[in-house]
A and B are shown apart, each in its own frame.
Chain A
Amino acid sequence: MTRNPQCPDALLARACRNALLPEEEEQLGAHLRRCDSCRVARLVATDFAHVPSVLPGDDQLIAQITARLTKRKRFSRPRAMVMSLIAAALIAFGALAAAWTARFARSHAPDQGAARAQTSAGIAAASAPTAIPTDPSAMTATAENPSSAIAPNAIGRERTGDDRRGHGDRIEHAEGTAKSLFAEANRLRSAGQVPEAIVAYRLLQEQFPHSFEANLSRVSMGSLLMGRSDAEPALAQFKRYLSSNPSGVLREEALFGEARALRALGRSSEELEAWNDLLAAYPGSVYAPMARARAQQLR
């Protein structure tokens, strides 16, 4: 028999990730002895597990591709262009209306003071679409960076106490700034300006400690600090990420960083624990061979 119609594909997939329990390994082993197709598939999967898929210089490569793909014409989407034109038309219409109101007031008002009051009211009314846009997509299209376009209005209304949209704009402003800071820090990091990048990440974490970007930045900053042999603060960064993101997308990298930092600090028992955590959570990780080798040394 070369193929079993009930091949345990789930076990094969988990075997690829080195995530089988001992009894599952036995179960899969028994199946592989009977099924040629699965045996060959398992063999080939093991072969591919040995292919190095992370190489030195990947950071730069990713930064280059990202830079290329984010460099674009101002209006790459026709919809954005149309919405911008509509926004511009609204503003122009508002300005014309304000001018007309002023002229009308000047020619009909009994005194100059009343005319000035009416002019102010007209301008305020005319500029309302700019101050409180009702269509988010229109706001997006009004500037290269939508967050920066929204922010001044949000701050202005907060100061005057006329915030009809509640916290909404403040949220957008804060997130926009966190994103900008994160992007700037990443740019500095890609450009090799490590001290400046660390300052930017720190600023991000201080100003927006609970933002998505600040969380992500802890792993980047930890790696940068490790590169400068600042193992203690690097460890703090990785630990903070791990504690606040138990299932974060960068958990694998954070665990790896934590183990390296502990190694640099000579805290062997904790280091062993960190390697074990990494292996338990990501048995098929690209760091797994290193983790296994180091864990073996420490045992």
Chain B
Amino acid sequence: MLRLVKSDAVANSEDPSSRSTGPRDELLPLMEALLRGDVVAKRTFLASVLPAMLRVVRRVLGSHHPDVEDVTQEAAVGLLRALGTFRRDCTVLHFACRIAVLASLAARRRHRFELSLYDSSEADVFNHTAADMPGPAENLASSRRRVILRELVDSLPNAQAEALVLHCVLGHSIDEIGRMTGVPTDTARSRVRLAKDALRFRVTNDPLLRELLRDEP
């Protein structure tokens, strides 16, 4: 019987040309097989990265937004096209998530009007009700802050919007953002700082939030 003697993954980990310095990236062998034209590897690769990309799109657009599926597919197409240029500065999954962020931000900017209607709709407010929210006012305030951030990313420069989403929405560190976006750490830090300042300004000056939470920013 034919048996695996040495897997692609092992072979790749020994490849001195590999630029990954962190722990072994399990998606790299699949990605390389995909780039060689392996259709089955492509299917497996997509099945591996799409759940994370879908989660990112939902966070940026809203859980029940009608364009979630289209934007996820668009992001996946973008990912497949961009894989050839992937520099391995970050993991494949982080690369995929970054593309999902960019696709979601682009979709928001393209359909700003429709999205603003969705952002302020009741569906978004009440579908995101969390069990551990202290009360309806805090729940509404939480929803309002999400709306503010989503509106803010429509108006911020692309790089800052991306950094803000990666940091505040997806919880990536400055180092990770630097690697994901291919910029020096100080640049990433600066983008996050500027975006956070803009967010603070919007949140602290929002009349609805002030009304809802008089003691909160």
Contact = CB atoms under 8 A, between A and B. Distances in A.
Contacts of B132: 50, 289
Interface in A202-251: 207-208, 210-213, 216, 247-249
A178 B80 CA distance: 23
A45 B169 contact: yes
Contacts of B174: 9-10, 13
Contact of B39 (A64, A70, A186): A70
A211 B4 contact: yes
Contacts of A51: 58-59, 62-63, 128, 146
B5 interface: yes
Contact of B173 (A10, A69, A178, A211): A10
Contacts of A53: 54-56, 58-59, 63
A295 to B, nearest CB: 14
A61 B54 contact: yes
A165 B27 CA distance: 27
Contacts of A17: 171
A77 B77 contact: no
Nearest to A292: B132
Contacts of B58: 51-53, 55
Interface string A47-63: 11011111100100111
B58 to A, nearest CB: 4
Given A12-B167, A53-B63, A145 B39 contact: yes
B65 to A, nearest CB: 11
Contacts of A41: 167-168, 196, 199-200
B69 A65 contact: yes
Interface string B192-206: 110011011001100
B80 A50 contact: no
B20 interface: no
Would you call the interface of chain B mostly helix, strand, loop, or mixed? helix
Contacts of B40: 145, 147, 176, 179-180, 182-183
Nearest to B189: A9
A70 B43 contact: yes
Contacts, number: 213
Contact of A48 (B36, B168, B200): B168
A13 B167 CA distance: 6
Interface in B63-99: 63, 69, 72-73, 76-77, 80, 93
Contacts of A207: 1
B111 interface: no
A137 B59 CA distance: 40
A281 interface: no
B64 to A, nearest CB: 8
Given A36-B217, A37-B199, A48 B37 contact: no
B26 A48 contact: no
A10 B188 CA distance: 12
B19 interface: no
Given A38-B196, A51-B63, A146-B36, A13 B43 contact: no
B211 interface: no
Contacts of B172: 13
Interface stretch (A86-94, A103-111, A166-174, A257-265): A166-174
Nearest to B47: A66
A228 to B, nearest CB: 21
Interface in A137-192: 137, 140-141, 144-147, 154-155, 158, 167, 170-171, 173-180, 182-183, 186
Interface of A: 2-3, 7, 9-10, 12-14, 16-17, 36-41, 43-48, 50-55, 58, 61-66, 68-70, 77, 80, 136-137, 140-141, 144-147, 154-155, 158, 167, 170-171, 173-180, 182-183, 186, 207-208, 210-213, 216, 247-249, 284, 286, 289, 293
Interface of B: 1-9, 23, 26-27, 29-30, 33, 36-44, 46-48, 50-51, 54-56, 58-59, 62-63, 69, 72-73, 76-77, 80, 93, 127-128, 130-133, 142-143, 145-146, 148-149, 167-176, 189, 192-193, 196-197, 199-200, 203-204, 216-217
27 contacts: A7-B196, A9-B173, A9-B189, A10-B173, A13-B167, A14-B173, A16-B168, A36-B217, A44-B146, A44-B148, A46-B142, A50-B133, A53-B54, A53-B55, A55-B63, A65-B69, A69-B77, A70-B46, A137-B37, A147-B38, A186-B44, A207-B1, A210-B4, A212-B29, A249-B26, A289-B130, A293-B131
Given A51-B146, A62-B47, A144-B39, 19 more contacts: A3-B193, A7-B196, A16-B171, A38-B196, A40-B203, A44-B149, A45-B171, A51-B62, A54-B55, A66-B50, A69-B76, A171-B7, A176-B40, A183-B40, A183-B43, A211-B7, A249-B27, A289-B130, A289-B132
